[in-house]
Amino acid sequence: MPDLKQHSELNQYHLGMWYGTYRLLIAFCLLLITLLTFQQLGTQYQHPGLYLYTLVCYFIFSCLQLISYKYIPFKSTQQLTLFFAVDIIALSSLTFASDGPNLYLSLLFVITIFAASLLLQKRKALAITLIAMIMVIYQHFVGSLLDFSSLNNIGQSALLAFLFWVVYGSGRIAVRRFQILENLNFSQSLELNRLQNINRYILEQTEMGYLVLDENCHVVLSNPAACHLLGIHPKYAHATYPLYKIQPDLFDLFKFDQLQDGEKFQFESQLSHFHVHIQVQKLKVPHQTLTLLALQDGRKINQQVQQLKLAALGQLSASIAHEIRNPLAAIVQANNLFTGSDAAQQQLLSDMISKQATRIDKIIHDTLSMVKNKQTTPVAIQLNQFLPQFIQEDLPDAASQIQLTLTEQLSIQFDESQFRQVLINLIRNAIRHNAAQQPIEITVYPKATYIYIDVRDFGAGVANQDLLYLFQPFFSTEINGTGLGLYLSHSFCEANQAKLSYVEQEQGACFRMKCLRAIE
């Protein structure tokens, strides 16, 4: 992955700059301290002149190497290797001049070895570590041969060399961990960048406008559709600007009106010729609350609504025509046969014509009930009193077939006339499909804040292939059915904040009404 390699090299370059600055600062501080205390070095160090000249050279090399590393960023790995080579030589010379390792020189050695294991390749870091170990240990042997030093500090030097090896091993372990984390972070950053590009592309391609505002009414995010609808100049599309600067009309609306979450309103601006439909949504993010404005062209919304209305009207017209065609064809056929028939046949044909005309009238009546959109007036209905009376008044012919189970004093919130119509449709439907000698069970029971009313028969039930079309208009499994009963019942329940659903049974069918409990 060339991108990952470039990313690693860039990180190595920045770390090298920090290390170059560190070593220059260390060289300067040591040189300054030495110049200020040079007269005392003769009593403490055996070779004060070597100590001073080493620091001067170290400072000069550190300065030149840092300048070269910053302004000539080629072969940065080779320059880093020279950094550590100069450090090892300088620190070894200082150790020799001070007659053995001391605390601060040992600490500088350790930092150098650890930095080399982090910034250099494994072989180069190992070479730097070995050179440091050799120079620390064997400088005392060289000093002994030249009568410059003794072997008194050989134990400290060996211990320091062992510490170098431990530091090198720790550094390599840290490097492996850093590489794993770096690869993981890099892959995550690539994935995040890819998702950001996809989100940005989606925002740029969608016709819906999106505008995100912070608590100070500054635009945090916008897409081209929002800029187009609000008349915002394209130069403001990809930066954060105050809303009052790019769309003062919308800012005035926010300034004088506290818009709530989910609120919808229409907006027109002098900067744009669009009639914009805006929906407000509050976004809860850490430490702040953002406001998302979803923008749509009002004219396109109206066009879509009109298209949906025309499509629904066409579907309804086709369904009505299909439902009326069958009884109408039967009427025409009966009328053609009427003239040449005898009196008995004419009576049968007359009954057929009357029956089919009644069917057409029922289709028209149900259709008008469906599209009339009568206003709903929910009232409290006491089921213990209402249901027995309803069965006797509205279903006298089927009262003996109905088994009512109601053990508590329960009341619901429902429009009374619509509730009667729903029950009539469900019970009549259950009677038509019920098995012989079996009752129609009506069970009423409470649960939480709702009242459930189950209407169950013991017939064949609803076939699996018909479940999807159960509450659609003009769907019926009977030849003489209009297919509007369940659809109207479902619509009446929704209008009263209730829900009508089909519950599968082992035998028969069960339609369940979930109604709001009336507040007593």
Amino acid at 481: G
Residues composing the chain: 520
497 and 359 in one domain? Answer: no
Rg (CA), the chain: 46
34 and 176 in one domain? Answer: yes
CA distance 454 to 159: 89
CA distance 300 to 208: 11
Binned at pLDDT 50, 70 and 90, residue 149 comes out as very low
CA distance 116 to 171: 8
In the chain, % of residues over pLDDT 70: 80
Q: Which two tokens stand for residue 202?
A: 């989606």
Three-state SS for 212?
Answer: strand
Binned at pLDDT 50, 70 and 90, residue 387 comes out as very high
394 and 315 in one domain? Answer: no
Residue 81 CA, chain-centre distance (Å), reads 48
Q: Give residue 452's domain range.
A: 379-516
199 within domain boundaries: no
193 within domain boundaries: no
489 and 473 in one domain? Answer: yes
Q: In what order do the strands lie in the sheet with 241-242?
A: 241-242, 218-222, 209-213, 288-297, 275-285, 264-268
458 and 316 in one domain? Answer: no
pLDDT for 447 beyond 80: yes
503 and 410 in one domain? Answer: yes
Q: Which two tokens stand for residue 430?
A: 């259950």
Cβ 52 vs Cβ 34: under 8 Å: yes
200 within domain boundaries: no
List alpha helices for 339-469, DSSP H.
343-371, 383-394, 416-433
103 and 54 in one domain? Answer: yes
Report which of 453, 443, 449, 454 is spatially closest to residue 520, judged by C-alpha positions: 449
User: Phi, psi (5° rounding) for residue 463?
Assistant: -65, 150
309 and 243 in one domain? Answer: no
Q: Which residue matches tokens 């969608």?
A: 206
In the chain, % of residues over pLDDT 90: 8
53-67, 92-106, 128-142: which has the highest mean pLDDT? 53-67
Q: Which two tokens stand for residue 351?
A: 């009954």
Domain end (from 300, 321, 354): 300
511 and 426 in one domain? Answer: yes
CA distance 278 to 298: 9
What's the mean per-residue pLDDT of the chain?
78
506 within domain boundaries: yes
201 within domain boundaries: no
Residue 379 CA, chain-centre distance (Å), reads 42
Neighbouring residues of 501: CB distance < 8 A, sequence distance ≥ 6? 511, 512, 514
Lowest mean pLDDT, pick from 9-18, 71-80, 224-233, 319-328: 319-328
Q: How many domains does the chain have?
A: 4
Res 504: pLDDT: 86
Bridge-based pairing of strands 411-414 and 379-382 is antiparallel
CA distance 77 to 120: 7
217 and 148 in one domain? Answer: no
CATH number at residue 311: 1.10.287.130
Domain end (from 261, 285, 300): 300
Binned at pLDDT 50, 70 and 90, residue 151 comes out as very low
Domain end (from 187, 215, 231): 187
197 within domain boundaries: no
Q: Which residue matches tokens 């989606």?
A: 202
CA distance 251 to 8: 46
462 within domain boundaries: yes
Burial 193-206 (b: 16+ CB within 10 A, else e): eeeeeeeeeebeee
399 and 351 in one domain? Answer: no
- Per-residue pLDDT, averaged over 437-447, amounts to 90
pLDDT for 150 beyond 50: no
Q: Does pTM surpass 0.85?
A: no
Binned at pLDDT 50, 70 and 90, residue 510 comes out as very high
Three-state SS for 480?
Answer: coil
194 within domain boundaries: no
399 and 276 in one domain? Answer: no
